[in-house]
Amino acid sequence: MSEKKAVIGVVTISDRASKGIYEDISGKAIIDYLKDVIITPFEVEYRVIPDERDLIEKTLIELADEKGCSLILTTGGTGPAPRDVTPEATEAVCEKMLPGFGELMRQVSLKQVPTAILSRQTAGIRGSCLIVNLPGKPQSIKVCLDAVMPAIPYCIDLIGGAYIDTDPNKVKAFRPKK
Ligand SMILES: Nc1ncnc2c1ncn2[C@@H]1O[C@H](COP(=O)(O)OP(=O)(O)OP(=O)(O)O)[C@@H](O)[C@H]1O
Ligand SMILES: Nc1nc2c(c(=O)[nH]1)N[C@H]1C(S)=C(S)[C@@H](COP(=O)(O)O)O[C@H]1N2
């Protein structure tokens, strides 16, 4: 078990939020969610950037390799529009993809909106960092995180990241018995 304090990246990918045209509600919803459910010490590295593939890749690499993030949660840029390139940038910087994350998040999101299938959100591993894409809509954050969070601490254990635990009354982190 790793003793290091977790660093978690939160990256909002939105042309308009990055220009200040609207407030970044989704990134803040992710940070509030993390503060609510994670009971082990962690710090957040927060970025708000436009839908530019090179910049997304650079930001993910900086957060994973230089800031030592064990987890990066992105929001936005997962849809079918021409400027939606978050999944491509994620795949480009990851060594391994974990398609089950996107499959599960789309499944739970379908209970909220029929357009859930328009999100190409995915997840992957870069070194000892797990990167997970969330849609841009503020209302998607909790439904998606509630679905995948139980598997995230064990995934981070497996890739050698920091130890993370959750409040079992809010999210029960599942670690299979050895
Ligand atoms: N980070 C955010 N904070 C608050 N609202 C958001 C955020 N991201 C998206 N939204 C809301 O969801 C809607 C659809 O989001 P989407 O990501 O498709 O935006 P977009 O059309 O790609 O434009 P942009 O990249 O400028 O956010 C937006 O119009 C906005 O109302
Ligand atoms: N839970 C949830 N998932 C959702 C949505 C939502 O409102 N709630 N919006 C969908 C819509 S309308 C789109 S276009 C895609 C992609 O959104 P993005 O480009 O902002 O990432 O996410 C989808 N997934």
d(CA 86, CA 90): 6
Are 174 and 151 a contacting pair, CB within 8 Å? yes
Q: Got the DSSP string for 47-72?
A: EEE-S-HHHHHHHHHIIIIIS--SEE
The residues spanned by each domain of the chain are 6-159
Beta bridge partners, 8, equal: 44, 71
pLDDT, tens digit (0-9, with 9 covering 90-100), for 48-61: 999 999 999 999 99
pLDDT-derived band of residue 82, with 50, 70 and 90 as boundaries? Answer: very high
Q: Would you identify the CATH topology of the domain 6-159?
A: Molybdenum Cofactor Biosythetic Enzyme; Chain A (3.40.980)
d(CA 66, CA 63): 6
Rounded mean pLDDT, 10-25: 98
pLDDT, tens digit (0-9, with 9 covering 90-100), for 106-157: 999 999 999 999 999 999 999 999 999 999 999 999 999 999 999 999 999 9
d(CA 108, CA 26): 18
- State if residue 113 touches ligand 2 by the CB under 6 angstroms criterion: yes
d(CA 38, CA 47): 20
- Residue 21 gets which letter from DSSP? S
Q: Specify the residue with its C-alpha closest to ligand 1, atom 30.
A: 137
- Residue 76 gets which letter from DSSP? S
Compute the distance from residue 160 Cα to the ligand 2 centre, in Å. 31
Residue type, 85: V
- Residue 132 gets which letter from DSSP? E
Work out whether strand 129-134 and strand 71-75 pair parallel, antiparallel, or are unpaired: parallel
Predicted ipTM of the assembly? 0.96
Kindly report the average pLDDT of the chain as a whole number.
97
Compute the distance from residue 126 Cα to the ligand 2 centre, in Å. 25
